[in-house]
Amino acid sequence: MPQATLATVSTAAPTPEAPATGARAWLRNPFARSAPIPAPAPAVSPAPEPTPAPTLAPASGAQPSETRDSPTPARASPAPISSPVAPAIQPAAPQTQAPVLTDTPDALAPARKNWMERLRGGLRKTSSSIATVFTGTRIDEALYEELEEALLMADTGVKATQYLLADLKRRVKDSRTTDPAAVKGLLVDALTDLLRPLEKSLVIGEFTPTVIMVAGVNGAGKTTSIGKLTRHLAQAGASVLLAAADTFRAAAREQLGVWADRNTVEIVSQEGGDPAAVSFDAVMAGRARGKDVVLVDTAGRLPTQLHLMEELRKIKRTIAKAGSSPGAAGIGQPPHEVLLVIDGNTGQNALAQVRAFDDALQLTGLVVTKLDGTAKGGVLAAIAQERPLPVYFIGVGEQLEDLETFNAREFALALLT
Ligand SMILES: Nc1nc2c(ncn2[C@@H]2O[C@H](COP(=O)(O)OP(=O)(O)OP(=O)(O)O)[C@@H](O)[C@H]2O)c(=O)[nH]1
């Protein structure tokens, strides 16, 4: 098995802006800046015993030229920051009911308010065509037909569109609404309920390291999302190691290297050779160094490229072997997360990718990118209807702050109001 090189780009020093309670914030919002929506007190299950925030020794920082065999400097291992993750592909655990979000962004914390504005801006092309449906004066079949058309145009798909229409009609009947504008509010509720099972927090800390494998078609935004996620993880106080498992395309490795540099984290990279071997080496190195997270970036591929899909399966199997190798106690069964990155702009095609990659890899979650400027924002409803996998993050642009946790109510509001 060819050996990959562990390039110590730099070391993960604790970021000054890392909040002291950053880890606990992952329970709902991994990014720790603000909770997406304040959960109402009565609905929340009893809080677990307070866990200390992970104390990352500046350790690796004190060793500018680590070698692969150097022992991990003493550091307090991060406390588990959530209960064990539910098995892969299980629908997300029931979420606490979010309070009704008014259309006034003032109800949100400043960072989240800003995010809502960007999300709303990004989804404008989708929302503008749906909004016109509710400008009439009557609730009649014509309104529902127009809405059906608008939802289909937004790539909501036939099944989710039919489901939403039936649910909406029931809500209209139950509430005896006569105002078309109020119907829009009921549609927000219906869409929120449909999307709710996709809400789930990414959990780290249960295993050291938590191994996250990332796949997707070419150009979906895998590397960019990994870079952004690395930044957020580092800000939350977690140490990250990147694995450049695209061994063939030099530009892909360089791009990941740039993100590693920017975030001052280590990267395992290799020119040519077997991507599975690089992934294996990265997991072993992450384990030896006590990293909190190993992120494995794989090369883009189409689900129709069967040999490349087989290569992905091999990467996954090989990562699993790293978990059962001698002395692997505490690592569980890696990869702990298998994420698919999809380009939200590709609408129903993205749903087809979810199906194909899920069948091949048993995905545990999704990252939906490029929701900025898309007219196909309805695809999340289609995913919720047909393959309800957790959507850990959504992206609305190329900047670092353009990747955030997914919240069903926020998304429904941004899409429809
Ligand atoms: N507008 C927009 N662009 C994005 C977003 N996420 C990523 N991109 C851009 O999409 C392009 C492709 O992103 P990459 O991260 O290189 O995609 P990839 O999946 O790693 O690509 P391959 O390695 O070729 O498979 C880049 O120009 C990114 O800046 C997003 O949320 N919105």
Verify whether ligand 1 is closer than 6 Å to residue 395 (CB atom): yes
Ligand 1 centroid to residue 222 C-alpha, Å:
6
Counting atoms of ligand 1 from 1, which one is nearest the CA of 252?
23
Query: Taken in order 172, 178, 180, 182, is the CA torsion positive or negative?
Result: negative
Going from the N-terminus, what domains does the chain have, and what CATH number goes with each? 5-11+203-412 (3.40.50.300), 110-198 (1.20.120.140)
What value of ipTM does the predicted structure carry? 0.98
Q: State phi, psi for 220 to the nearest 5 degrees.
A: -70, -25
Q: Please indicate if the annotation marks 217 as binding a ligand.
A: yes
Verify whether ligand 1 is closer than 6 Å to residue 122 (CB atom): no
- Longest Cα separation, the chain: 72
Cα–Cα dist 225/155, whole Å: 23
DSSP secondary structure of 26-52: TTT-TT-S--SSPPPGGGSPPPPPP-P
The pLDDT profile of the chain, 417 residues, written as one tens digit per residue, is 444 544 433 333 333 333 333 333 443 444 444 444 443 333 333 333 333 333 222 223 323 222 233 333 333 333 333 323 332 222 233 333 333 334 444 556 777 888 899 999 999 988 888 988 998 889 999 999 999 999 999 999 999 999 999 999 999 999 999 998 899 999 999 999 999 999 999 999 889 999 999 999 999 999 999 999 999 898 889 999 999 999 888 899 999 999 999 888 999 998 888 999 999 999 999 999 999 999 999 999 999 999 999 999 999 999 999 887 776 677 889 999 999 999 999 999 999 999 999 999 999 999 999 999 888 999 999 999 999 999 999 999 998 889 999 999 999 999 998
Counting atoms of ligand 1 from 1, which one is nearest the CA of 217?
25
Counting atoms of ligand 1 from 1, which one is nearest the CA of 246?
23
To test the pocket of ligand 1, the residue of 214, 229, 398 to mutate (highest count of ligand atoms within 8 Å of its CB) is: 398
Counting atoms of ligand 1 from 1, which one is nearest the CA of 402?
31
Verify whether ligand 1 is closer than 6 Å to residue 399 (CB atom): no
Verify whether ligand 1 is closer than 6 Å to residue 224 (CB atom): yes
Q: Please indicate if the annotation marks 220 as binding a ligand.
A: yes
